[in-house]
Amino acid sequence: MSERLRPLLSVLMIALLAAQVAFSRTMPRDWQLDPSPGDPPSPTLARLAALGDADSAARMLTLYLQSFDAQAGRQMRVASIDQHQLRAWLELIADLQPASGYAPFLASRIYAETAPVADARALLDWVAARFEHDPGSQWSWMAHAVFVARHRLHDTALAARYARLLRERTRGVQVPKWARELELFLVADGNETRAARALIGGLVESGELSDPETIELLLRRLNEAKRTAKHDGRPEEAARGSDINPEGFMRPEPKSLGLNGEMK
């Protein structure tokens, strides 16, 4: 570095520090955290601000939304952010970047896990709506919505509805088997014996469920749930038949012809 530049850089650093001190003194000491991020801009205005680049616009809006809970050096609870406006910002970000799953990720992984129950349900419903629009790229956040509904909201019926939507809308879409089987485990764990038997039998018959180990695991959990119901004094659940034999749900192996033309 040139010796002539050193004094100039020192003066510049001192000036910047002085500006920082002056700016900090203009901040009110009784700063009140504002839970409202305001209404989002229109999609057209957002694109104009990013010189027509929708992806860049979505990133800028995401940075604003994610940093909104940090105000004047203080941290605001994420759950206290205005939820109606929050969903409006997420909707705009998702519309600007429809192939990205980042807005549904924020909704299901960050905001729904901390929001009040009613707002969490609304966020998960929004994730489900985005999933229906593009199951191929949004299925993972739909699966997380199942988890949040079951384990954070403790709403098995809502979780099962999301899981059924996940199974039905991913036919023909390349997703892991476990994602399609979430509904089966939820029904089995929920003591819904008749519904579980009907669902498992229907999936086996249609060929969607063919792995013997998975079938056996599901029915074993269903039998355990029945025994738990009996132990807990819920005869209406425990009395719905004896333990289920997995062999009754297994498809018979196709027979083949031997050399002499006989079946073997």
Count Cα neighbours of 150 within 13 Å in the Cβ-side half-sphere: 18
> Residue 71 pairs with which residues in a beta bridge?
74
Q: What pLDDT, on a 0 to 100 scale, did the predictor assign at position 132?
A: 94
Q: What is the Cα 124 distance to its own chain's centre?
A: 7
State the virtual CA torsion across 154, 160, 161, 163 in degrees, nearest 10: 120
Predicted TM-score (pTM) above 0.85: no
For the chain, the farthest-separated pair of C-alpha atoms sits apart, in whole angstroms, at: 101
pLDDT band at 226 (very low <50, low <70, confident <90, very high): low
Residue corresponding to tokens 């029904």? 187
- CA dist 188 and 218 (Å) reads 7
Count Cα neighbours of 18 within 13 Å in the Cβ-side half-sphere: 6
- CA dist 258 and 264 (Å) reads 6
Q: How many other C-beta atoms can be found within 10 angstroms of the C-beta atom of residue 196? A: 25
Q: How many other C-beta atoms can be found within 10 angstroms of the C-beta atom of residue 152? A: 16
Give the residue-averaged pLDDT of 217-239: 57
Share of residues in the chain with pLDDT > 70 (%)? 62
pLDDT at position 31 over 60: no
pLDDT at position 255 over 60: no
Give the residue-averaged pLDDT of 215-230: 66
Q: What pLDDT, on a 0 to 100 scale, did the predictor assign at position 221?
A: 67
12-21 residue pLDDT tens = 778 777 776 6
**First and final C-alpha spacing in the chain:** 88
Sign, Cα dihedral of 202, 208, 210, 212: negative
Phi, psi of 27 (to 5 degrees): -75, 135
- Considering only residues 19 and 1, tell me which one the structure prediction assigns the higher pLDDT: 19
Q: What pLDDT, on a 0 to 100 scale, did the predictor assign at position 158?
A: 94
User: What is the crossing angle of helices 193-206 and 212-231, to 10°?
Assistant: 170
74-114 residue pLDDT tens = 666 777 888 899 999 999 999 999 888 899 999 998 899 88
Residue corresponding to tokens 């209406």? 236
Nearest one of 85, 90, 94, 96 to 39, comparing CA atoms: 85
- CA dist 208 and 160 (Å) reads 18
Q: What pLDDT, on a 0 to 100 scale, did the predictor assign at position 61?
A: 92
167-192 residue pLDDT tens = 999 988 888 888 888 887 777 665 55
3-state secondary structure of 75: strand
Most confident range, picked from 15-19, 28-32, 231-235: 15-19
